[in-house]
Amino acid sequence: MTFRATVLTLFPEMFPGVLGHSLAGRALAENAWSLETVQIRDFAEGKHRNVDDTPAGGGAGMVMRADVLARTIDAASPEGDSRPRLLMSPRGRPLNQQRVRELADGDGAVILCGRFEGVDQRVIDARGLEEISVGDYILSGGEPAALVMLDAIIRLLPGVMGNEASGTEESFETGLLEHPHYTRPQEFEGLTIPEVLTSGNHAKIAEWRREEARKLTAERRSDLLPQTSQPVTK
């Protein structure tokens, strides 16, 4: 079954955006995945079709209404839809390659993009939305976050990436950051390619890459390394 993405947004024209190009764009044209956008405002009522209102308890900004969002979700993802319902949110679990892979192995996703100060908590609870963050910073809306997440998912879908092997050797897939890369020319501004890489000795090359990856990960992201047992202190 092809991966089916349904994006609930106030800005459907932002899609497919970057996902209309390159790998993801070709895959979309070839139906390796499908994309549907739903305009949240279509589910608002009244003359002004308000999707947001002032925060209960006061304070700055506006909050997206639970009733409007619930109607949008129910229309886009009726009962029986097995796809996870995701809310792009800086308060969510930080997205990682493991969750990306799980999502890519599924039927698709229903993705709600927030705007303003965020969404009424009651719709998150009532519709069981899984909050997903793309990092510890604040975007102006969920759309760029959804595009980032979908990009990461789509490249893992069957048949999307030309060279299947390159998908499994990347940073994070091995639990480590990737080793450095080099290509021609052999000399660039006086800098040469590490000799081992031009040696033709594949075992040595693999060993060098593993070691570089380990060093780089220890330097930059020691949090990714397997936890070495800590001495117990009282």
Which parts of this chain interact with ligand SAH (CB under 6 A)? 88-91, 113-115, 117-118, 133-135, 137-139, 141-142, 145
> In angstroms, rounded to a whole number, what is the distance separating the alpha carbons of residues 17 and 25?
9
- Least CB distance to ligand SAH at residue 149 (A): 8
Kindly state the tokens that stand for 27. 């895959």
- Least CB distance to ligand SAH at residue 123 (A): 12
Q: How many other CB atoms are there within 10 angstroms of residue 54's CB atom?
A: 12
- Least CB distance to ligand SAH at residue 186 (A): 42
- Least CB distance to ligand SAH at residue 147 (A): 11
Listed in sequence order, the residues at least 6 apart from 9 whose beta carbon sits closer than 8 Å to its beta carbon are 15, 37, 38, 39, 40, 113, 142, 143, 146
Q: In this complex, which beta carbon is closest to ligand SAH, that of residue 96 or of residue 199?
A: 96
Q: 65 exposed, middle or buried (CB, 10 Å; 0-12, 13-18, 19+)?
A: buried
Q: In this complex, which beta carbon is closest to ligand SAH, that of residue 134 or of residue 213?
A: 134
| CB-side neighbour CA atoms (13 Å) of 206 | 4
Q: In this complex, which beta carbon is closest to ligand SAH, that of residue 90 or of residue 209?
A: 90
- Least CB distance to ligand SAH at residue 104 (A): 18
User: Which residue number has the CB closest to ligand SAH?
Assistant: 114
> In angstroms, rounded to a whole number, what is the distance separating the alpha carbons of residues 87 and 1?
23
